[in-house]
Amino acid sequence: MATGDLITPTQNTWCPGCGNFAIQHILKEVIAGLINDGTPAERIVLVTGIGCHAKMADYLGVNSFYSLHGRTVPVATGIKVANPDLTVICCVGDGDCYGEGLEHLLFAAKRNVGITVIVHNNRVYGLTTGQYTPTSPEGFPGKSTPHGTIEHPINPLTLLLSSGAGWVGRGYTRRLPHLKGLIDAAVRHHGFAALDVLQICATFYNRAACYNAHTYDLADHDPSRFEDAYAKAHEWDYTSEAPIPLGIFFDQDLPRFEDRVRESAAPSTDTNAAIGRILDQHR
Ligand code: SF4
């Protein structure tokens, strides 16, 4: 499949220079790669939340589900549990998933649901014109905090790691080949994968100069060791201009939630047998 086949005719309304374009470009290449490697197109599902990122569901020509604000991960979990053969990719925003949807994200990490969560982390609510999110730096002068937010941001990577996530990474939209490798690895990971993608909001929070100067590749990092992953994830606190590591922080194969659900179901009951027949009919 050519990547152009995955672009819909819907008019694109993202601002010029928005980091969403880079993620869209890479995602269509990664999805085309999956299809060319044998994954049927109808077995790929994109789930989005609410925010500028969510228009990805309009712009990419794959099966998609436009969910409620912060509820992308539970919708994706339901899809994956109902049909484990599907490749389920979530595009979420930082306000969307680290704010409203945080508990869903952490429980999906804890359960190791076999979905990929790509966080468009521009560290601002762009669609609603510039309020602070959980990853905005302390002092951020947004629409709702004109004198600067007085809160310290969360570190989503340490949260995900301490919640049990088997695959955790961070990319940046202006390092395209590097980001493509990360998205491809995340989507092909067998269990839960969470990729925090630093992107600029060209209109309300453009951090390109900071990210260009301070990001570096975790080239020599061993992602199999939890302690090393946690230490690297702790290196940048989402406020300072300390070196910002990019790459795969942690990579471990764990039993998947959807497989354990099936193993733990009692197949002898009439109810379970009926549910199984219904699910089989819809594959
Ligand atoms: Fe992108 Fe920001 Fe414009 Fe939204 S407001 S489309 S995040 S640049």
Residue 144: CATH number of its domain: 3.40.50.970
CB 200 within 8 A of CB 19: yes
- On whether the CB atoms of residues 129 and 204 are closer than 8 A, the answer is yes
- Domain presence at residue 267: no
Ligand 1 pocket test, pick from 201, 205, 207 with the greatest ligand atom count within 8 Å of Cβ, gives 201
Answer yes or no: is 268 within a domain.
no
Rounded to whole angstroms, the Cα distance separating 213 from 219 reads 17
Handedness of CA 125, 6, 165, 223 (dihedral sign): negative
- Contact 205 CB / ligand 1 (< 6 Å): no
Is 137 in contact with 238 (CB distance < 8 Å)?
yes
Angle between helices 257-264 and 72-82 (to 10 degrees): 50
pLDDT value, residue 133: 97
| Shortest-distance atom of ligand 1 to CA 126 | 5
**SS3 of 193, please?**
strand
Locate 139 and state its tokens.
């002092």
The domain containing residue 190 runs over which residues? 23-256
Give the C-alpha separation, 153 to 132, whole Å: 10
Q: How much is the pLDDT for 273? A: 74
Considering the domain boundaries, does residue 274 fall inside one?
no
Whether ligand 1 lies within 6 angstroms of the CB of 122 is answered as: yes
Q: Is residue 18 part of a domain?
A: no
Q: Is residue 95 part of a domain?
A: yes
Asked if residue 273 is part of any domain, the answer here is no
Residue 13 lies inside a defined structural domain of this protein: no
Pocket test for ligand 1, best of 58, 96, 119, 127 (most atoms within 8 A of CB): 127
Decide the pairing of beta strands 215-217 and 193-198. Answer: unpaired
CA 102 – ligand 1 centroid, Å? 22
- Separation between Cα atoms, residue 272 and residue 262, nearest integer Å: 10
How many structural domains comprise the chain?
A: 1
Give yes or no for residue 52 CB within 6 A of ligand 1.
yes
Q: What angle do CA 215, 232, 220 make, to 5 degrees?
A: 75
Residue 228 CA to ligand 1 center (angstroms) comes to 34
SS3 content of the chain, % helix, strand, coil (to 5): 40, 20, 40
- Mean pLDDT split into 10-residue runs, the chain, 283 residues: 87 97 97 97 97 97 96 98 97 97 98 98 96 96 95 97 98 98 98 98 96 96 98 94 96 96 75 72 69
Residue among 203, 205, 206, 207 whose CB has most ligand 1 atoms within 8 A, to mutate: 203
**Contact criterion met (CB below 8 Å) for 210 and 122:** no
Hey, what's the torsion of the CAs at 37, 85, 225, 102, to 10 degrees?
120
What pLDDT, on a 0 to 100 scale, did the predictor assign at position 200? Answer: 96
Q: Please give the angle made by the CA atoms of 169, 174 and 176, to the nearest 5 degrees.
A: 70
- Hunting for tokens 């928005």 — which residue is that? 18
Does 170 reside within a domain? yes
